[in-house]
Amino acid sequence: ARTHYTRGGNPTIDALEAAVVSLEGGNAAVAAACGMSAITQALLTLLRAGERIVCHRSVYDWTDTFLLEELPKFGIETVQIDLRDAEALKSELLRPARVVYFEPLSNPGLDMIDVKTVTGIAHDAGAVVVIDNTFLSPALLRPLEHGVDVVVHSATKFLCGHSNAMGGVIVSNDEDLIARIRTSRNIYGGVISPFNAFAILHGISTLRLRMQQHGANAQKVAQFLAQHPAVVETRYPGLP
């Protein structure tokens, strides 16, 4: 329930949540103190002792640490495989898993994962799909439109865009789940400050223009590196 504390809600935090709901095309969102707060609170809400989470082989370093070092303390098992291999995922999900988790453009390897394929396989096996959409942002991908259940962001990065605030966001079409995550935010205390929510809202206003320019700049860098004799391998989705 909403309390009189900012931990329970605040008009500026509410406005940030509404903005991300609109951007991602979801039904409800919860803003958090940072990206890791969004990830941990979402997963700790979904998972119970004795359950499993299947994750891509490469995810953000602190997410990896949480999955492999912290979740076992709660009796939760993490299995990491290459989610670009659909048959490997089908095989792994012959054993029940509660969550399938990945970044559609992985950090840091830039593995490109087929969101629709992975989501379909996961749902057929009864798993909830959680995606970290930080790298692409809703300007480039709206995972909920492809059947994903939960989307998380480090809003510190592209949503904010100015390196002047930390924040995270969790968005879903499942309003009951978001209500449960909001309760988790009250319990664990990973609440964004109203001022940081304001700064991120300010940054979101230029998201589309910034993402276009980021892509154009990165394309030129990638093409330069791909042709450089000292560079062994260049990974970028815009290359052939």
Specify whether 64 is catalytic: no
Give me the catalytic one of 111, 132, 142, 149.
Answer: 132
Give me the catalytic one of 57, 157, 180, 235.
Answer: 157
Rounded Cα distance, 219 and 207, in Å: 18
In which residue are the tokens 């998201």 written?
207
What the block records as the tokens of 221 is 């860098």
What ranges make up the beta strands (E) of the chain? 28-32, 52-56, 77-81, 99-102, 128-132, 150-154, 168-172
Specify whether 90 is catalytic: no
Please count the helices (runs of H) and the strands (runs of E) in the chain: 9, 7
Specify whether 60 is catalytic: yes
Rounded Cα distance, 90 and 93, in Å: 5
What the block records as the tokens of 195 is 């001022």
Show which residues are catalytic. Answer: 7, 60, 132, 157
